[in-house]
Chains A and B, each alone.
Chain A
Amino acid sequence: MKQSNRIKAMVKEEQEESSNRPDNTAFTQQRLPAWQPILSASIVIPMFVLIGAAFIGVGVALFITSRDIQLQELDYTGDDSEHPCFKCRTNTEKCTCSMTFSIPTLFKGPVFFYYGLTNYFQNQRKYGASKDDNQLYGDLNYFTSPSTDCDPYTRDSKNMPIVPCGALANSMFNDTFTLSHTVNGVQKIVPLDGKGIAWWTDYNIKYRNPSITPLINAFNGTKKPTNWPKPIYELDTTDVYNNGFINQDFLVWMRRAALPDFRKLYRRITHDDYAAGLPAGNYTLTIAYNYPVHSFNGKKKVVLSNVSWMGGKNDFLGIAYIVVGSMCVVMSIVMLIVYARFKFGEDD
């Protein structure tokens, strides 16, 4: 096959005959110095006890932390005819409903205001891919010719390009909430902070408005998404840094949830009197009910929660740590027994 090579190799071999003694290095002789760990019971049992103790410790800490997190969940879907939002369920017009609730003790701040949806598959592949990152990066070239990924939300019925295109943007959550605190019979609006609810990098780098002022000029010849009541450059007319693609509500929506039951951050309560938390008392939540969910049996809810160093309330981690920690301890005991038997057997 490789005859010519072979001849050469032979010739070479002849020439190097004296020097073809293999190298006597540790590597070639497979004698590299090596650490040969043996997981003997005498190492593993104390190790397991230690790990188990540490895990139980962490688990208890997590569990207590999680337990201390306060949570107020309000389902406002209005499936129940008694529910104040029932009337809005099928109403296609603008509809407002309000719910009252009371907080028995101080709800420690900062309090985070989440909205939650269930049975909403934001993680579907086609839905998730249905956006044009170049548009969202402020590239005007893609305003007039959006990516076909956005189909069927690329152009409207008059074949005008939609900005921002795609199913993801089109389905943006558009219920709005106001929270008021009843102080001495007077409704006092709790100021909600819409800043800092999206990832810093999304807000500052990943999404960008076109560098045209006023912003509206950039959107000449484009249409707003069909489901939106107002175009993107009017999302927040009060704050130029919260408008257009860098509107934080928009950013939060655009970061797709991992699971069909999810919650997203809506606002933070960090201002004025409520910086330390929501004082005990009665509160009214007023909902501008726009977002239809009953067609897919979804639920909408509002969640008020404070967070700890581990994030929101989540009992799973604490319990899991305690369980795994206890398993380690139990295992070490089992091992001790087995090892003792085994060792005695050996000694016999």
Chain B
Amino acid sequence: MLRRRLNRLFGGDEGRVHSRTIYVGHKSCPPNEAYIPPKFCDNRIVSSKYTVWNFLPKNLFEQFRRIANFYFLIIFLVQVIVDTPTSPVTSGLPLFFVITVTAVKQGYEDWLRHKADREVNEYRVSVLEDGRRIRKMSAKIKVGDIVEVEEDETFPCDLILLQSSRDDGTCFVTTASLDGESNHKTHYTVADLESDLQYLSATIECEQPQPDLYKFVGRMHIYRNSQEPDVRSLGPENLLLKGANLKNTQKICGVAVYTGMETKMALNYQGKSQKRSAVEKSINAFLLVYLFILVSKALVCTTLKYVWQSKHDETWYNEKTQKEKETNQYLKMFTDFLSFMVLFNFIIPVSMYVTVEMQKFLGSFFITWDKDFFDPEIQEGALVNTSDLNEELGQVEYIFTDKTGTLTQNNMEFIECCIDGFQYKHGDGSSELDGFCVTDGPVNKIQQKAGREREELFLRALCLCHTVQVKESTKQRQDQNDQFDQIDQVDGLGLDHGFLDPPQKEMGFIASSPDEIALVKGAMRYGFTFLGLESKNMKILNRNKDVETYELLHVLNFDPVRRRMSVMVRSKTGDILLFCKGADSSIFPQVRQEEVERIRMHVERNATEGYRTLCVAYKHLSAQEYARADADLREARLALQDREEKLMAVYNRVETDMILIGATAVEDQLQDEAAQTMEALQGAGMKVWVLTGDKMETAKSTCYACGLFKKNTELLELTLRTLEDGGRSREERLHDLLLEYHKKAVQDAPPVKLGITRSWSVAGHDYGFIIDGASLSMVLSSSSEPNSRRYKNLFLQICQNCTSVLCCRMAPLQKAQIVKLVKNSKGNPITLSIGDGANDVSMILEAHVGIGIKGKEGRQAVKNSDYAIPKLKHLKKLLLAHGHLYYVRIAHLVQYFFYKNLCFILPQFLYQFFCGYSQQPLYDAAYLTMYNICFTSMPILAYSLLEQHICIEVLLEHSTLYRDIAKNAMLRWKLFLYWTALGIFHGLVFFFGVRFLFSNPALQDNGQVFGNWSYGTIVFTVLVFTVTLKLALDTRHWTWINHFVIWGSLAFYVFFSFFWGGIIWPFLKHQRLYFVFANMLSSVSAWLVIILLILLSLLPEILLVVLRKPRGPHARQMKHRLPSSGTSTIFMLSQTASTHSFSWSD
């Protein structure tokens, strides 16, 4: 370690920093050179945070780093050090409880982690050393060890695959535990290695560990008998990741390259950044107010104490001790101040944090439990990754949604194709297909068809140009001739082919993108079936049921920048062909221009219909051309640095001058209820922005289909197309367009009155905005700084005045940029991002709330999201019902907590005025401690978990209800003041009610008098009953749990008081409450005053509930019937148009 650091410090050689060298099997290479074993970390996984020794200090340190805990610790310490009115137990016990519970929880979690670590670290693995197989613990694996892994085992570290038991040098793995994708992935051995690894002498040079799971660059040097070393390139396909499982392969051998904490898996699980909800910010603000109240109370009392003392000299009956007399006056003042702080510190309750946390944690279960979120197709329900943001779901103002896989199903179906400009539409009757395809081909009878040559070339291209694998199953290729009876499976999803007979044959395709499968299956319908790839040979069954074999030479992979992919194949006849497919915009510039126009027409028509279009092109490669391309490709693949750029350059060089053969149209069906969901969300006042990488036309048609754009929506376009109109420079045009749109959408639009925006009155001023990636980057990064800021503002203002915004051709980072832009705009609106693919991760992480769809594009989005749901339609319930309820619950919880502690402490404050500011507590220490823990905590917790002030059905039906709580409506200062005023009112009533009663303390019918503890107990009894009944008044949804908890805690209070006062407690210094409660109950006056004060406190509340505008579902429904009756009036109007006397009445 030290040496490495020193090396870095003194600028050790560059290679060391950027790459590492691994000696396979720890053998010196070349053999004659001295072998210095390099230092790497061992393979021990440490996910645990603590050890037995550092648990206590470390855990305590971390807990007290939280402001609240620290505050209570300070209070506790003050109580211990200074002579304070309440014993340290009163604040120490709750703090101890909270700290212990948290510590036990964290300790348990850490113990589990230790156990899991141990299991992983002590797992026995086989390591080949000098040709012998040695079992050793996983933790002892060193970089360079050759590790043997058997089927179904987990890879113990990141390995380079050297040898596989399969003949073709491949192995299959699943990476379910890494990214959640459960499909089998193929990895390849390093080509041409010795069969006996004992004699392998090689070094591997590869990059330093980095967390990207899908990136790896390395180079292997193989030394054979002092020749020049052979060099092989290594890529992610050679790397087996720790945590993945070996499948379908008996065993493999690999050399460890990254171990322990340097494996990609370990690097990937380093917690995400914490998101904080708006409610938490409100809590902190309120907390400051209460802290201020606390300090000022203490200050007032301290001041008054010394004023009072100057008037009332030391009395003979209460002399000061010698020590007190000697203490410095200012020090005494300070300790008095601290004592008052301690006396009033209960105003900020330690239990609120616990309750809020519990509410969030337990509350989130209702999301996972909701069976409406259960999707029978994937057999999964919703997933909650963080419970901190439950209430944020009720505050969403902007929704950013991905298109593919989110608005649409990502369930591709081949619709039609166009070959040489002729349209081939596929009839949907399957039987028809049987008749046609063998004899006539896929020709629509009415239309002309292209030449048979071209047709077959096109279909071959479809069959060859992809990275689809045939899923192997047990009954593999039983019956090859029966190709039309195949079941196509996409990740276990059977597609609907009515006439199929499943048991006959099982065959499915696996691919990284569903488009490819749709295309392969499309080709299959027209008679060309892809049979699979066997040792670099692709097999196709053609129309005449002959098997054609092509040697696969190179795959030029798809990437989002190039937006196309190609394959190079060698046919039986020796011709070398390059097939390429990709987005129209990326293919057209690369082909000969004569064919383009005819096909462009089709592509654009298809795109407006909402289909995903791909163009297919091909070219013949001469032997020389191929040789050059081959050499270039190999060279680029071996590059250690900038490999991707180099590869891209080669790809671009090869993919030119092609011949366009046709285009395909694949339909991506809309998600279930996508339109209804969008309508509901818009009705709830949320603005929906679609951010997609797709083409504008396709995305636009999806927006129309989802109802985001309506017929009367006026579209404002800011795309490359509109920018290039008018023949001026793009910059100028951008400027003009922005100003024009701004005038239209912002300045000319009538000012929208907040709150009265009604969903049915949008006609007339409905704008939609469309922008594409290129234009966006121009807006965001304009050449001059002031311009750029101005453009940003214009852009934001336009967007905020449009009902929907469509951003197409977005790169993943641009998506995040937009989210960030809106997030930080005026008013800091709450944003939500929803997406399903890896390209949505950045925006999911950026938004306040990130939602992942458990779609088909892997689990990346789900892993990084805060909440994951199976389908888009679930978003409606998640926001409108769950979000709304959680927000109302937690908002009420917060307000109530502050309220109940204010009216708890206020009487204690007021009592100081009657006891010579001597810090005499009004309540007994037990009551002070238990008030927040036992007597009043359960009802509010039950409320905050179960309350449905409006029942779920109504919330779902009337999406406008969501607007009622928008902009943190329940935690505004006005409401906070209301609750504070209520708390003060209650506190005053409690204290002075009892104060007047005690003007004659002879309250028993036997003439005996009550003392100060009876006073406090009466106040406390009134307090407990009032705050509990206040909550009961607020509860709109009384389940048996609410009944149980509310009446239960009151009963518990009474029971506890009897119990506490019924026994002489040996551990107490003063038996203050001995029989105080029982004596209190024996007094009729006490009963009467308790009843009176409770009622008096609750009277205004009851009055308010009655007089407030009715909020119940009935009233809402009544309100909502209005528009429907309105439309019927319009209907009547049209019926009686001749009668002019008809007047509007409302």
Cβ B1069 vs Cβ A5 within 8 A:
no
Cβ A152 vs Cβ B320 within 8 A:
yes
A261 to B915, CA, bound (A): 11
Cβ B1089 vs Cβ A21 within 8 A:
no
Interface stretch, picked from A92-100, A127-135, A214-222, is A127-135
B contact residues around A260 at 8 Å (CB): 914-916
A308 to B100, CA, bound (A): 52
Q: Does B499 contact A (CB under 8 A)?
A: no
Partner of A20, one of B180, B379, B998, B1099: B379
Partner of A3, one of B47, B323, B370, B1089: B47
A282 to B946, CA, bound (A): 70
Cβ B1085 vs Cβ A311 within 8 A:
yes
Q: Does B1127 contact A (CB under 8 A)?
A: no
- Given A196-B1006, A199-B1079, A58-B1088 contact (CB < 8 Å): yes
Partner of A312, one of B366, B995, B1002: B1002
Q: Does B481 contact A (CB under 8 A)?
A: no
Cβ A317 vs Cβ B1088 within 8 A:
yes
- Given A5-B113, A6-B177, A314-B999, A21-B381 contact (CB < 8 Å): yes
A contact residues around B313 at 8 Å (CB): 296
A265 to B1000, CA, bound (A): 11
A contact residues around B381 at 8 Å (CB): 20-22
Partner of A292, one of B265, B316, B1103: B316
Cβ A2 vs Cβ B319 within 8 A:
no
A45 to B898, CA, bound (A): 31
Cβ B319 vs Cβ A152 within 8 A:
yes
- Given A3-B47, A11-B177, A263-B1009 contact (CB < 8 Å): yes
Cβ A30 vs Cβ B1009 within 8 A:
no
A33 to B1043, CA, bound (A): 12
Cβ B176 vs Cβ A316 within 8 A:
no
A contact residues around B316 at 8 Å (CB): 171, 292, 295-296
Give the shortest distance, in Å, between B391 (CB) and chain A (any CB): 16
A133 to B647, CA, bound (A): 89
Cβ A257 vs Cβ B1009 within 8 A:
yes
Give the shortest distance, in Å, between A33 (CB) and chain B (any CB): 7
A contact residues around B321 at 8 Å (CB): 151-152
A contact residues around B1074 at 8 Å (CB): 201-202, 205-206
Most buried by B among A133, A197, A339: A133
- Given A5-B112, A8-B116, A255-B948 contact (CB < 8 Å): no
Give the interface residue-count category, chain A: 35 or more
Cβ B1099 vs Cβ A314 within 8 A:
no
Partner of B1008, one of A62, A199, A296, A313: A199
- The 8 A CB mask of A24-45 against B (1 = contact, 0 = none) is 1000111011111111110010
Query: Considering the complex, which residues of chain A in the window 293-348 have a beta carbon less than 8 Å from any beta carbon of chain B?
Result: 295-296, 305, 307-314, 316-317, 320-321, 324, 327-328, 331, 335, 338-339
B contact residues around A165 at 8 Å (CB): none
A contact residues around B369 at 8 Å (CB): 22-23, 28-29
B contact residues around A125 at 8 Å (CB): 85, 915, 918-921
Cβ A206 vs Cβ B1007 within 8 A:
no
B contact residues around A262 at 8 Å (CB): 1001, 1009
Q: Does B368 contact A (CB under 8 A)?
A: yes
Partner of B312, one of A1, A167, A263, A296: A296
Query: Considering the complex, which residues of chain B in the window 1001-1046 have a beta carbon less than 8 Å from any beta carbon of chain A?
Result: 1001-1016, 1033, 1036-1042
A contact residues around B1114 at 8 Å (CB): 38
Q: Does B2 contact A (CB under 8 A)?
A: no
B contact residues around A22 at 8 Å (CB): 368-371, 373-374, 381
Q: Does A179 contact B (CB under 8 A)?
A: no
Partner of A258, one of B45, B47, B1012, B1040: B1012
Cβ A311 vs Cβ B270 within 8 A:
no
Q: Does B380 contact A (CB under 8 A)?
A: yes
- The 8 A CB mask of A259-279 against B (1 = contact, 0 = none) is 111111100100000000000
Cβ B915 vs Cβ A265 within 8 A:
no
- The 8 A CB mask of A156-180 against B (1 = contact, 0 = none) is 0000000000010011000000000
A contact residues around B1003 at 8 Å (CB): 310-312, 314
Query: Considering the complex, which residues of chain A in the window 113-135 have a beta carbon less than 8 Å from any beta carbon of chain B?
Result: 114, 120-131, 133
B contact residues around A321 at 8 Å (CB): 1088, 1092
A263 to B379, CA, bound (A): 76
A contact residues around B371 at 8 Å (CB): 21-24, 28-29
Q: Does A285 contact B (CB under 8 A)?
A: no
Q: Does B81 contact A (CB under 8 A)?
A: no
Most buried by B among A51, A147, A258: A258
A7 to B1015, CA, bound (A): 59
B contact residues around A114 at 8 Å (CB): 1002, 1009
| Minimum CB distance partner of B1086 in chain A | A311
Cβ A201 vs Cβ B370 within 8 A:
no
Give the shortest distance, in Å, between B1004 (CB) and chain A (any CB): 6
- The 8 A CB mask of B1095-1112 against A (1 = contact, 0 = none) is 110010011011100001
Query: Considering the complex, which residues of chain B in the window 1079-1138 have a beta carbon less than 8 Å from any beta carbon of chain A?
Result: 1079, 1083-1085, 1088-1089, 1092, 1095-1096, 1099, 1102-1103, 1105-1107, 1112, 1114
Q: Does B501 contact A (CB under 8 A)?
A: no
A55 to B1092, CA, bound (A): 9
B contact residues around A48 at 8 Å (CB): 1102
- The 8 A CB mask of B153-186 against A (1 = contact, 0 = none) is 0100000000000000000000011001010000
Q: Does B243 contact A (CB under 8 A)?
A: yes
Q: Does A289 contact B (CB under 8 A)?
A: no
Partner of B1002, one of A4, A153, A255, A263: A263
| Minimum CB distance partner of B117 in chain A | A4
Give the shortest distance, in Å, between A200 (CB) and chain B (any CB): 8
Cβ A38 vs Cβ B1008 within 8 A:
no
Cβ A123 vs Cβ B315 within 8 A:
no
Cβ A296 vs Cβ B1064 within 8 A:
no
Give the shortest distance, in Å, between B273 (CB) and chain A (any CB): 12
Partner of A2, one of B269, B1016, B1099: B269
- Given A152-B322, A265-B1008, A317-B997, A33-B177 contact (CB < 8 Å): no
- The 8 A CB mask of A48-69 against B (1 = contact, 0 = none) is 1001000100100010000000
| Minimum CB distance partner of B1005 in chain A | A309
A28 to B1002, CA, bound (A): 54
Give the shortest distance, in Å, between B567 (CB) and chain A (any CB): 34
Cβ B270 vs Cβ A1 within 8 A:
yes
Give the shortest distance, in Å, between A199 (CB) and chain B (any CB): 6
A202 to B1008, CA, bound (A): 12
Cβ B948 vs Cβ A296 within 8 A:
no
18 contacts between A and B (CB under 8 A): A2-B269, A4-B45, A7-B116, A10-B177, A17-B380, A30-B952, A38-B1112, A48-B1102, A121-B915, A123-B914, A147-B1069, A199-B1008, A257-B1011, A260-B914, A292-B316, A311-B1003, A317-B997, A321-B1088
Q: Which residues of A contact B (CB under 8 A)?
A: 1-8, 10-11, 14, 17-18, 20-24, 28-30, 32-41, 44, 48, 51, 55, 58, 62, 110, 112, 114, 120-131, 133, 137, 147, 149, 151-153, 167, 170-171, 196-199, 201-202, 205-206, 252, 255-265, 268, 292, 295-296, 305, 307-314, 316-317, 320-321, 324, 327-328, 331, 335, 338-339
4 nearest A-B residue pairs (beta carbon): A4-B116, A312-B1002, A171-B317, A258-B1015
Q: Which residues of B contact A (CB under 8 A)?
A: 45, 47, 85, 109, 112-113, 116-117, 119-120, 154, 176-177, 180, 182, 243, 265-266, 269-271, 312-313, 315-323, 365-366, 368-371, 373-374, 379-381, 914-916, 918-921, 946, 948, 951-952, 993, 995-1016, 1033, 1036-1042, 1064, 1069-1071, 1074-1075, 1079, 1083-1085, 1088-1089, 1092, 1095-1096, 1099, 1102-1103, 1105-1107, 1112, 1114
Known: A18-B379, A121-B915, A316-B999. 16 other contacts (CB 8 A): A2-B269, A4-B45, A5-B47, A21-B371, A24-B371, A28-B366, A122-B1012, A167-B319, A255-B1011, A257-B1009, A257-B1011, A258-B998, A259-B1001, A295-B316, A311-B1005, A328-B1099
